[in-house]
Structure 1
Amino acid sequence: MKTKLIFFILISGFLFAQNPKDFINKVQSKFNSISNFTAKFSQTFYTAHGTEGGKANGNFYYKKKNKFLVELSNNIISSNGNTVWNYDKRFKRVVISNFNDDPTSFSLEKFIFAYPQLCKAEILKDENGALLLTPKDNDLQFKRVKIWKTADNLISKMELVDIGDLKYSFSFSDIKINQDLQDSKFEFQIPQGTQVIDLR
């Protein structure tokens, strides 16, 4: 029993021995080594008071640079890296906007490569070694973000608190890298009879 306890302590110490720079470097290196990935996707929204405000599950597809497709039961959000289409199936309405102007834009590249150098970083040992990023100034549109990674250094979960204290939790599971994802998959084809709101 004593041997098992010592082994557990040693393993725990090894798992959390990394520092923020190691965490970031490993995730960046892994991201640079792949061209795309697919995953099961889960999102939960929390109000400023901490109560759950909504939940959604679906499929997530990602390809460099900033191409993504989120398929949910009532919505499809798609981006070819320049344009974002946010389609509401219930109302047959699509809102089109530029990637850089759209609040639903989900740029993994920014969280992996740009934001770490603009934030204070620390490892949260009591949260399975998550990386906590806290902006150094008020230029970014969030107060903090926590990032978890898999054993092979892919992002598995993110929790973001925006400047209005709303929290968004994103989880990825069943991650598959370097799939056959053509660029055309990220070009949304507007169904006939859809109301189009073009904000570009």
Structure 2
Amino acid sequence: MKIINHVMTAVLFLLLANSAWADEKAEQWVKDVKKNYESLKNVSADFTQTFHWKLTGEVQQVKGKIYAREGNQFKIETADQLIVTDGKTLWTLNKANNQVVIDWAENAADENPFIHKFLEKFTQNYDAQMDVNSTEGALVSLLLTSKNEEQFVPFMRLSIDPKSKFIQKIEQTDINENVTTFEMQGIDTSISLSAQDFKFSAPENADIIDMR
């Protein structure tokens, strides 16, 4: 669960555009991106996730591969972890200690950028504005502000490819000012995936922890 728990745990605080025009334009981008992702059947991508801890100044980077199917099945693999869900059950394998944690998929479905529930929280829980101070070049940059002041992630920045309408980067900073950047490369929507690709068998002699 470590990767999923950290993929969306932080926010970048920047100046926000204030005009109604900017709000409407940003909200339209969110709708377009959501519609684009909801139309996906199969998708895979490489990702790089970088954690910046405010208190210690420590920086940690994780690279891996992500696969998603039908908006509710996904697999995330890094050197240390394998996370798989068939849409109902979630398996998390810690490769170092050969430990498998089993949970319900609904407890993590809104933490994956290719899963429908993740996109729903943008439209339901955040107000979007154009980032007029963006340094992302040709990418469209949106700043999302939480509608709930008690949200652990009150702000987010999305960097979107204007042609493909895919999210290329997500930057977040939590209430403790720890910053996480999640970047995706090599997004492939032509990959062939089946339900069998999202089944999991525990390794021999694995320690099983069932949280359901």
TM-score class normalised by the smaller sequence = 0.7 to 0.9
Aligned-residue offset at 1:184: 1.5
* Aligned residue-pair number: 185
CA–CA distance in 2 between the matches of 1:65 and 1:43?
21
Structure with greater contact order relative to length (CA < 8 Å, sep ≥ 6):
2
Q: Which one has the bigger strand percentage?
A: 1
Aligned equivalent of 2:193, options 161, 181, 188: 181
Residues 99 and 25 of structure 1, relative CA distance in 2, 3 Å threshold: same
- List runs of 5+ in structure 2 lacking aligned partners: 1-21
Aligned equivalent of 2:69, options 60, 63, 66: 63
Regions of 4+ moved over 6 Å? none
Residues 104 and 77 of structure 1, relative CA distance in 2, 3 Å threshold: farther
Secondary structure of 1:121's aligned partner: strand
1:90-169 equivalent positions in 2, closer than 5 A: 90-102=96-108, 105-106=111-112, 108-127=115-134, 128=136, 129-138=140-149, 140-150=151-161, 151-169=163-181
Q: RMSD value over aligned CA atoms?
A: 2.6
Aligned-residue offset at 1:109: 1.9
Q: Give the residue type in structure 2 aligned to 1:148.
A: S
CA–CA distance in 2 between the matches of 1:36 and 1:52?
36
Partners of 1:118 and 1:136 within 8 A in 2:
yes
1:26 paired with 2:32, answer yes
Residues 80 and 26 of structure 1, relative CA distance in 2, 3 Å threshold: same
Identity %: 24
Q: Give the residue type in structure 1 aligned to 2:159.
A: W
In the alignment, what sits opposite 1:13? none
User: What is the TM-score with the length of structure 1 in the denominator?
Assistant: 0.81
In the alignment, what sits opposite 1:190? 202
Larger mean CA deviation between 154-163 and 183-192 belongs to 154-163
- List runs of 5+ in structure 1 lacking aligned partners: 1-15
Q: Give the residue type in structure 2 aligned to 1:191.
A: P
Q: Which has the larger radius of gyration?
A: 1
CA–CA distance in 2 between the matches of 1:64 and 1:168?
27
Partners of 2:46 and 2:184 within 8 A in 1:
yes
